[in-house]
Amino acid sequence: MATQETTSTTTKPALIRPEARQTILAFAGLILIFLVFFVASPYFRKFDNIVAILLSTAVNGVLALGVTFVIITGGIDLSIGTILTFSAVMTGVFVVDLGLPVPIGVVLGLLSGALCGLVNGFVIAKMKVPPFIATLGMMMMTKGLALILSHSKPIYFADRPAFRQIAMGNIIPGVNIPTAVVILFLAAIVAALILGKTILGRYNFAIGSNEEATRLSGVNVDAWKMAIYTLCGLFAGLAGVLMASRLDSAQPALGSGYELDAIAAVVIGGTSLSGGEGTILGTIIGAFIMSTLINGLRIMSVPQEWQMVVTGLIVIGAVYLDIRRRHAK
2 within a domain of the structure (yes/no): no
Domain count along the chain: 1
| Residue-number span of the structural domain to which 100 is assigned | 19-328
315 within a domain of the structure (yes/no): yes
pLDDT digit string, tens, across residues 209-224:
999 999 999 999 999 9
4 within a domain of the structure (yes/no): no
For residue 34, which of 48, 19, 45 has the smallest C-alpha distance? 45
256 within a domain of the structure (yes/no): yes
15-43 exposure pattern, b = at least 16 Cβ within 10 A, e = fewer? eeeebebbbebbbebbeebbeebeeeeee
0.85 surpassed by pTM: yes
Question: For residue 254, what pLDDT is reported?
Answer: 86
Question: For residue 2, what pLDDT is reported?
Answer: 44
Question: For residue 35, what pLDDT is reported?
Answer: 94
Q: Element (H or E) spanning 156, and its range?
A: strand 155-156
The neighbour count for residue 317, using CB atoms within 10 Å, is 13
Where residue 59 sits, what CATH number does that domain have?
1.10.3470
State how far Cα 23 lies from the chain centre.
16
Question: For residue 176, what pLDDT is reported?
Answer: 79
Nearest-angstrom CA–CA distance, 127 and 3: 52
Nearest-angstrom CA–CA distance, 286 and 60: 10
14 within a domain of the structure (yes/no): no
Residue 215 · residue 236 · CB < 8 Å:
no
The neighbour count for residue 151, using CB atoms within 10 Å, is 8
Nearest-angstrom CA–CA distance, 50 and 295: 9
Question: For residue 17, what pLDDT is reported?
Answer: 60
What is the chain's percent helix, strand, coil content, to nearest 5?
Answer: 75, 0, 25
> What is the per-residue DSSP string for 61-82?
HHHHHHHHHHHHTT---TTHHH
User: N- to C-terminal Cα distance for the chain?
Assistant: 27
The angle that helices 80-92 and 131-150 make with each other, rounded to 10 degrees, is: 30
For residue 85, which of 232, 236, 291 has the smallest C-alpha distance? 236
Among the residues of 41-130, which ranges form H helices? Answer: 47-72, 80-92, 102-125
278 within a domain of the structure (yes/no): yes
133 within a domain of the structure (yes/no): yes
Question: For residue 126, what pLDDT is reported?
Answer: 96
The angle that helices 179-197 and 280-299 make with each other, rounded to 10 degrees, is: 150
Nearest-angstrom CA–CA distance, 118 and 137: 14
> What is the per-residue DSSP string for 1-18?
-HHHHHHHHHTPPPSS-H
Is the Cα dihedral 129, 135, 139, 141 positive or negative? positive
DSSP conformational letter for 44: T
9 within a domain of the structure (yes/no): no
pLDDT less than 50: residues of the chain: 1-15
pLDDT digit string, tens, across residues 4-13:
444 444 444 4
Question: For residue 5, what pLDDT is reported?
Answer: 44
Q: Amino acid identity, residue 63?
A: L
